[in-house]
Structure 1
Amino acid sequence: MKIGSYSLASNTMLAPMAGITDQPFRQLCCQMGAGLAVSEMVSANPKVWKTEKSKRRLIHGNEAGICSVQIAGSDPQELAFAAQVNVDNGAQIIDINMGCPAKKVNKKLAGSALLKEPILVEQIIKAVVNEVAVPVTLKIRTGWCDNTRNGIEIAKIAEHNGIQSLAVHGRTRNDFYKGEAEYDTIKAIKKAVSIPVVANGDITSAIKASQVLDYTGADAIMIGRGAQGRPWIFREINHFFETGQLLDPPSLEEIRSIMIEHVNGLHKFYGDFMGVRFARKHVSWYMQTLDPEKQFRSIFNALESEQEQLEALTRYFDNLI
């Protein structure tokens, strides 16, 4: 799959997730086979760029793959300015967020709330596409609610105004993450436009990825929650696409190596205080199947330093192996 002049190494992508798809996780997922890893959402409001959180999200150097940065907001000129700032900082692709269902985002008429305003959608896309020289992509949901499932209309607006690739989560905003994703709308969108369409929602295995790709006719699949604690899911899906065979799961030794590399990366990126806290979150996801009783997670979440966390992981896997 290509986005503008960029050829992706695979047609599996990591979805942008606030507080999750930071630089260490994006790098890890690209190493594990993701053809594209989209950044956390960056606010288009320059007033918040001086916070530590925003400063980190505006760092785009040392990326493992193609650097795709997602921006969010509702003012066309503000979004255009934010797009250019991020390009100046190293972004190679700009992604516009029109899919986030969070109330604090929607109340500012950003994220999936924009799906209710097709005219504004067009104004935003035009402003951003005209501002930057890099490809611009868009992430949406199927609509605001069941009665306003207007994904096809938004997709046509996107194509007509220069969007290079469209990712569609198979839920409306009102669905949040409840129930099951539906793929009929994604299939209909793919038939309605000629730009690449990426299917997103409830893809948690290689077999499910293949089924979704076959059913929708999409050009690629995007994985969000399915990659939390399982960054090797991209490798598994790529292998299945290439061979039709399921790949053996990673060994305990490899899982330990991946987790230690990830925890090291989080501490290096965030520093000791925040590194400890982000490591707790990611380790909790890794341990969901290894530690169903949550005994280790309880111990790990009480640790307060990188050294303690790494030593605890080493001891745990030594005992397990």
Structure 2
Amino acid sequence: MMPEIIAHRGASYLAPENTLTAFRKAMEIGADGVEMDVQQTGDKKLVIHHDFLIDWHTDMRGQIYDMTMEELKALDFGSWKDVSYKDERIATLQEALALCREMDGTVVQLELKATIDNDPDFVPRVIEEIRAADITDRLVMISFNHDLLRQAKQLMPELKVGVLVYGAMETMALPTAMWEILGLQNSLEEDDFPQLPMFSVENVDDENCSWMLRQIGSQVSMLQVDFPNESLIEVIQHLLDQRDPVKYVQTLDFKPDWVSCEYHTAYQQPGMVQKLHDLGIKTAYWTVDEEKTVKDLWPLQPDAIVTNRPDRVREWIAELEMTE
């Protein structure tokens, strides 16, 4: 079965991620759909952006949840990628869904970024926009915060939802030595991860340290909103619970339509796709950008592959089909 090819934050390899341009380009180069992130501004509006911070996508510092829609719309969200994208504006959820509605057949994976203040009206606002866009049949709402998905299902039972699970992701979050201290097992090798020049000793200066600290702070905030009011030990336990997605989803008090996890989980649990299919649940793996990874995942037959390179993934899959 041909998996859906979902462009991660749009055609993010070619265009500024999570922008209208990135979504258009994704469909132009052969994606079946797009993945995007929605979060709430300081004045309770809904915008498309992955991180709470705007630091690395504009020439300003700030947090989405502290800024108004007017302030965000005044910023250039494109030049960081290339000068040709100068003055690309942040997209509202309404704008993004309207564009996808216009692009016939476009599938949408809409990731909810939980609010800092745990606003109970966040999900209802998103649901209202989905209804207004008349795109329910082509949309899957996904989130790491499963309480939000439960709320969405209660408000809109016909809505398809997908549980984002960390799976093998926790092994990527800390160095091997730290997991050994915690008495946990890191099953991935150092060679599995890209080497980032900014973390080399010769590149560590005040500017890079400040950037890294803000990035780490942003990631901690993401965990805090996904697991509100919980201790570090409790968060670690949640990560461990999600190492087995099949077992985990059966503990939920609602049935998801999808399970979406970091692709290394497939190597640890090659039977996961079939087991989830037996439960009537589809599977997506992210973020798959290398030919070898596509070849490794192909025999497992996931229902969707989320990638920054939808054009290349389609080419690699076509080659695999020709060899069968």
TM-score (norm 2): 0.44
Which structure has more relative contact order (CA 8 Å, sep 6+)? It is 2
TM-score (norm 1): 0.44
